[in-house]
A and B are shown apart, each in its own frame.
Chain A
Amino acid sequence: EPEVTQTPSHQVTQMGQEVILRCVPISNHLYFYWYRQILGQKVEFLVSFYNNEISEKSEIFDDQFSVERPDGSNFTLKIRSTKLEDSAMYFCASTIRETDTQYFGPGTRLTVL
């Protein structure tokens, strides 16, 4: 069964460093999302992406964040200068149609020291 994959599973970085989290959505899906979950808190929406542009972003998704679909398969989330409070699980999700079910990847645990 097709699934969303994410790499790395765990990323440790120093405050101020740039990180890139990678996702491979399900191959025929067209809508892509990033969510994050701070330990002990709810899963929160960050950004949605369709047709090579951002459809919607939350207040969390400030200028330090960017997303890109550099080729036909990868979908990346870049944090330019990480802060301690960026430590969280980051989940990628994809769906074939905007109104359809979103399927989640296993997540990347980002730890900022």
Chain B
Amino acid sequence: TQLLEQSPQFLSIQEGENLTVYCNSSSVFSSLQWYRQEPGEGPVLLVTVVTGGEVKKLKRLTFQFGDARKDSSLHITAAQPGDTGLYLCAGAGKNDYKLSFGAGTTVTVRA
């Protein structure tokens, strides 16, 4: 199993501030996916990044895949209370495609 370390574990910010969540590993991934999970529900896909150095934007969310495909970040600009939730990163291995999940970052955006 490939380990993915997510940081920080908890993040509480004021509405309008920016935040960044990090996902790091010593392993190389063929792709990395970011999900958002509400309590008692399944992970909902936000984005998949595949190419080293790739940057994808989804409205106020910016996702980056490291050049070596070992790390990724999620940046939220001008956070809103609706961004509150658990954000998970999950990497697919190079030779097997099962997902290894990070422990998640709980984001709280205060109005």
Residues of A within 8 A of B (CB): 4, 6, 31, 33, 35, 41-45, 48, 56, 58, 89, 91, 93, 95, 98-99, 101-107, 109
Contacts and interface: CB of A to CB of B under 8 A. Distances in A.
A35 B100 CA distance: 10
Contacts of A43: 43, 88, 90, 99, 101
Interface of B: 1, 30-31, 33, 35, 40-45, 48, 88, 90, 92, 96-104
Nearest to A35: B99
Contacts of A91: 42-43
Contacts, number: 57
B40 A109 contact: yes
A-B pairs, top 10 by smallest CB distance, nearest first, are A104-B42, A43-B101, A45-B98, A101-B48, A106-B42, A98-B97, A107-B42, A104-B43, A42-B101, A42-B103
A56 B98 CA distance: 8
B98 A48 contact: yes
Contact of B99 (A99, A102, A105, A109): A102
Contacts of A109: 40
Identify the interface centre among A33, A45, A89: most chain B CB within 10 Å of its CB.
Answer: A45
B41 A106 contact: yes
Nearest to B98: A45
B101 A104 contact: no
A104 B40 CA distance: 13
Contacts of B43: 43, 91, 104
A8 to B, nearest CB: 13
Nearest to B97: A98
Contacts of B40: 89, 107, 109
Given A4-B42, A31-B97, 19 more contacts: A35-B99, A42-B102, A43-B101, A44-B101, A45-B98, A45-B99, A45-B100, A48-B96, A48-B98, A58-B1, A99-B30, A99-B97, A101-B45, A101-B48, A102-B33, A104-B44, A104-B45, A105-B42, A107-B41
A43 B91 CA distance: 12
